[in-house]
Amino acid sequence: MRIVIQRATEASVTIDNQVKAKINTGLMILLGIEDQDNTEDIEWLTNKVVNLRIFDDEDGVMNKSILDVKGDILLISQFTLHASTKKGNRPSYIKAAKPDIAIPLYKEFITTLESKLGKQIGTGEFGADMKVKLINDGPVTICIDTKNKE
């Protein structure tokens, strides 16, 4: 599992010209799932997300988590995070999980993250053509891959 986390002052996702979800202060997360991912990856990654200290404290130091600031999360599925560009100029997405594997893991990721955050999160729609808007605060952008835990 691979994510790109962006600290946001606002973010939204639009599908078919309709805003599906919108957040203010919080995190906009792009999530890529590959075939080998499992529940252990979800548990580890959601713990990392809710405890990552990337929000400023009173002294302007990144020392607070999404839980501390009571922020929101917008989660977007994005298989292109697993693009391989080693050969040629057309990315290969062979590592990205097919929908029969990815959709259940995506749904479990949402449920687990909501449980740890203590509230609902905004989401896109798996496989949809989405337009994502973001005001990245900082900018702060962090990439995490469960295959690089150690």
55 is catalytic: no
80 is catalytic: yes
Domain 2-148 has CATH 3.50.80.10: yes
Residue partners of 144: CB distance under 8 A and separation at least 6: 2, 3, 5, 45, 48
Question: Using CA atoms, how far apart are residues 42 and 89, in angstroms rounded to an integer?
Answer: 32
User: 6, 46, 55, 79: which is the annotated catalytic residue?
Assistant: 79
Span 117-126, pLDDT tens digits: 999 999 999 9
pLDDT of residue 125: 95
126 is catalytic: no
User: 36, 39, 80, 141: which is the annotated catalytic residue?
Assistant: 80
Mean pLDDT of successive 10-residue segments in the chain (150 residues)?
98 98 98 96 98 97 97 96 89 92 97 98 95 97 91
